[in-house]
């Protein structure tokens, strides 16, 4: 249960994601569900994703989170776009 998960708490978490030195992510989305907070977006490594969840849990222990953050793929392209 996350009874205190209101807009102010959401804003605090959003700022933590950007301003905390161990995170520094501006592309993480937050969606409040009935009993939890769903994290979305993509980051460059699994370590960064795990650190986001760890910091939210440490700073907001009463907030239940579901992490849907992905890792950006970094494969070579198979197509070229002709610009005209």
Partner 1 sequence: MIRIAAVGDVHVDKDVLGRFRPALEELPAVADALLIAGDLTRHGTVEEAKCMATEFGDVGVPVVVVLGNHDHQSDQQDAVSDVLREAGITVLEGDTTVLELHGHRLGIAGVKGFGGGFAGACASKFGEREMKTFVGTTEAIADRLGAALRGLECDALVALTHYSPVPETLAGEPLEIYPFLGSYLLAQAIDSAPTALALHGHAHHGSERGRTPGGVPVRNVAHPVIKQAYNVYQLLSEDVDAGLASV
Task: State in angstroms the smallest separation of the CB of 55 from partner 1.
Answer: 14
Strand 42-43 with 29-32, pairing: unpaired
Q: Is 58 in the site for partner 1 (CB under 8 A)?
A: no
Kindly state whether residue 75 participates in binding partner 1, applying the rule CB under 8 A: yes
Say whether residue 7 binds partner 1 (CB under 8 A).
no
Burial class (CB in 10 A: 0-12, 13-18, 19+), 78: exposed
Give the span between the Cα atoms of 74 and 51, in whole angstroms. 21
- Contacts to partner 1 by CB under 8 A: 21, 24, 26-27, 29, 41-42, 44-45, 47-48, 72-84
């Amino acid at each position: 249960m996350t009874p205190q998960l209101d807009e102010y708490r959401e804003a605090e978490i959003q700022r933590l994601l950007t301003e905390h030195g161990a995170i520094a992510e501006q592309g993480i989305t937050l969606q409040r569900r009935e009993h939890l907070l769903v994290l979305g977006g993509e980051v460059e490594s699994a370590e960064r994703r795990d650190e986001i969840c760890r910091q939210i849990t440490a700073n907001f222990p009463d907030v239940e989170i579901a992490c849907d953050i992905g890792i950006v793929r970094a494969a070579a392209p198979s197509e070229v776009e002709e610009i005209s």
